[in-house]
Amino acid sequence: MSAAQPFPAAEPRDRTLDACFLGPYGENDALLEKLLVEFLRDHVYWRRNFHPEDPPAIATAAAHHPDYLAFESRMRRELHQLSAALKKSVPFHSPRYIGHMSSDLLLPGLAAQMLTLPYNPNNVSEDAAPVTVDMEVQAGLQLARMLGYPHDPSQPACAFGHLTSGGTLANYQALRLALALKAFPVALRAAQVPDLALPDDDWTAFNLPQAEGIALLERWQQWLAAQAPAERRRWQARVERERIEQHGLAGFFAAHPALHVPCVLAPVTAHYSWSKGVKLLGLGRDQLELLPTDGMRLDPAALRETLARCARTRRSVLMCVAVLGGTEYGTIDPIDEVLDARAESRRAGLDFAVHVDAAWGGYLATLFRREDGGLRPRDEVAAEYVQFPTPAVHAAFAALGDTDSATVDPHKLGYLPYGSGAFICRDHRAMALLAERADYVFHGGAADDYFARCRSLGQFIPEGSKSGAAAAAVYVTHKVLPLDHAHFGRLPRATVRAAEAFHARAQGFALEMGGTVRALVPFAPDSNLVCLALNPHGNTSPAAANAFVHALHDELRSDPQQPLQLKEFFGSVTSLRPELLGATQTARIFGALGLDPADAGDDHLLILRHTLMNPYLIDRENGISYIDRYFDFLARRVRALAAARPT
Ligand SMILES: *Cc1c(COP(=O)(O)O)cnc(C)c1O
């Protein structure tokens, strides 16, 4: 068989990964149990030592009372039922699970979260979370460093990041911040604040580069601080009245007829959270303009054309989203080219924010990060893989630090519990514009000031009360596994290598199975997701191909009606849509599969999608490749299904 060998037998095993997870077999149960018992006891001692002179409020004999016992038995009964029901859960921990973006949980994070839960910190404010709010701000700095943003809190232009319930809300926060920053110079003009060197007209004010907008915000804050208290309040109120957050979209744009509601540009591969975001912000879906892709990566030529059109027609652009690790194919948009296109557009007077949706791929940045924080050259990274990273992928990661903001999901490739997303912006000073309290000032030099300001998380985040335990989990994990290639990077390294092995094996599968089924990896993976399109030999109808893949997927999906053990593997599916693919790619893929694109049946093509993030896909302890086993399984099922097809 043609299975590639990206894991040469002679390569030393990575023993540090052995202690990272509970493990597919629960191998590290004793370790987790020890930690949990140790820190639960520690928590109890903490309670007792608060005021040891206070006697126990629950009587020592309470546990013998019938009501107590009745409560305990009801609780046990329900917990047993819960525990039993949970056995139908999806076995994310298993190397047989290669479906959605989920896997085993990192022990440091799981233990940190469980140990923090009984303290129940609420990260909405430092009053309610004196310890974990700082951890959240630190976690933001850890992620900023990983991305290449300035992360020295003693410098004015330091980045800032905070956690969210997930990538969806982080993306929404990016929209909110970009709009606040874009509209603020217009408000200053409308309020006719003197002495600030304001832009000459609304269009220019609405198209200031973010760095200039932030500089203007600082000038305004300093000017305001120099006013006498009564004047200060008057000017403050006057500017607040003109802000888009005060007027709402309708009032703001009615007051500024030279401007229109801005649009958001994103590749067609963008996650549906962007649609939710523009709806939530009140921009409306009409303002989400989806750009064509080339091989599922944003097409920079199409972006340039769109920007030229927007500049010509004076349609303002709020943001361009670049995806780092697409949800379907794991593809990496050319972030460097997006930034180049923005530089050109800026010269034509049209400016906008560049946000990276790295909800999935964010942690892949560790592969490119040296321990000293520098960028690893492509050759050095490439020495560890067959093809990764292509020059385009390396250039995209190298450009990350020049973008304005990013979304990273610790609960995806960070291997941490739900819900943990993160929003990170390149310059924390912009956050002052999101503050609920209008007098929020975001300048002043020392690192202490940075933490003092950022600690009032509730001022800026879209949520209110939120889990401090989740922040502890992210922070502790990043401390145990620093976000560089030598530490955390070992995990994504294993996943990218697994994806390369999977890709090679898929190509072998296509050759071996040619007489039964036509198989194709539609897009060479940029990272660790690999899709596989399948069409029974001789079939030309997309509808019949879809029925075939649908039947296959039925065997690969969780089914609460069946015992879990009946499932050999878990996979997921996605659809190829010709209207999103474009004519060239549709012709290439349908052609390779022997499908007739003119067939008027289904308007999409169902394909298998595999997330290769489980760290034990290649079990070197026992010499098992779950990738090979998966393809053996697939071959068996494909043969059986093909034989059952009506001819
Ligand atoms: C998962 C994902 C999101 C949404 O994140 P949630 O954590 O599910 O809210 C957004 N963008 C991309 C690219 C994703 O992969």
Kindly indicate the confidence band of residue 597, based on its pLDDT and cuts at 50, 70 and 90.
confident
Q: What is the pLDDT confidence band of residue 339, given thresholds at 50, 70 and 90?
A: very high
Q: For residue 603, which amino acid is it?
A: D
Q: Is residue 560 part of a domain?
A: yes
pLDDT (mean) for 301-323: 97
Residue 295 falls inside a structural domain: no
pLDDT of the residue at 446 = 67
State in Å: Cα 420 to ligand 1 middle. Answer: 11
**Judging by beta carbons within 10 Å of its beta carbon (0-12, 13-18, 19+), is residue 569 exposed, middle or buried?**
buried
Residue 623: count other Cβ atoms within 10 Å of its Cβ: 8
Ligand 1 centroid–CA 113 distance in Å is 22
187, 244 in Cβ contact below 8 A? yes
Q: Which one has a higher pLDDT value, 472 or 449?
A: 472
Q: What is the CATH number of the domain that holds 606?
A: 3.90.1150
357 lines ligand 1 (CB under 6 A): yes
Query: Does any ligand 1 atom lie closer than 6 A to the CB of residue 167?
Result: yes
Instruction: Please calculate the CA angle 417-419-422 and round it to the nearest 5 degrees.
Output: 105
Report the percent of the chain where pLDDT is more than 70.
96
pLDDT at residue 198 is higher than 90: yes
CA of 646 to the centre of ligand 1 (A): 40
- Separation of alpha carbons 390 and 395, rounded Å: 9
**CA 405, CA 420: separation in Å to the nearest integer?**
17
**What is the CA(359)–ligand 1 centre distance, in A?**
5
Domain membership of residue 31 (yes or no) is no
Calculate how far, in angstroms, residue 271's C-alpha sits from the geometric centre of ligand 1: 6
Asked whether residue 580 carries a pLDDT value surpassing 80, the answer given is: yes
Residue 621: the pLDDT is: 85
Instruction: Find out whether the beta carbon of 273 lies less than 6 Å from any atom of ligand 1.
Output: yes
Q: How many residues does the chain have?
A: 647
Q: Is residue 548 part of a domain?
A: yes
Give the strands of the sheet with 517-520, arranged side by side.
517-520, 529-536, 605-611, 572-576
Domain that holds residue 532: 490-644
What pLDDT shows up at residue 4? 44
Residues above pLDDT 90, as percent of the chain: 87
Region 262-282: what's the mean pLDDT? 97
Residue 609: inside a domain: yes
Residue 132 falls inside a structural domain? no
Considering its fold, how many domains does the chain have in total?
A: 1
Residues β-bridged to residue 529: 611
271 within ligand 1 shell (Cβ under 6 A) = yes
Confidence of residue 5 (pLDDT cuts 50, 70, 90): very low
Instruction: Tell which one of 332, 405, 407, 474 to mutate to probe ligand 1, the residue whose CB is within 8 A of the most ligand atoms.
Output: 407
- Residue 227 in tokens: 């006013």
Among the ranges given (122-131, 235-244, 414-423, 505-514), the one the predictor scored with the smallest mean pLDDT: 122-131
Q: What angle do CA 335, 336, 342 make, to 5 degrees?
A: 90
> Is 502 contained in some domain?
yes
Please state, rounded to an integer, the average pLDDT across all residues of the chain.
Answer: 94
In a domain, 597, yes or no: yes
- The whole-number average pLDDT for the span 168-175 is 98
Per-residue model confidence as pLDDT tens digits over 33-87: 999 999 999 999 999 999 999 999 999 999 999 999 999 999 999 999 999 999 9
pLDDT at 133 over 60: yes
Confidence of residue 2 (pLDDT cuts 50, 70, 90): very low
pTM: 0.96
Amino acid 534: pLDDT: 97
What integer is the mean pLDDT of 243-269? 97
**Phi/psi at 185 (nearest 5 deg)?**
-60, -30
Q: Give residue 207 CA to ligand 1 midpoint distance, Å.
A: 29
Angle at 551 between CA 548 and CA 553, to 5 degrees: 110
Mutate to test the pocket of ligand 1, among 275, 357, 408, 574 (most ligand atoms within 8 A of CB): 357
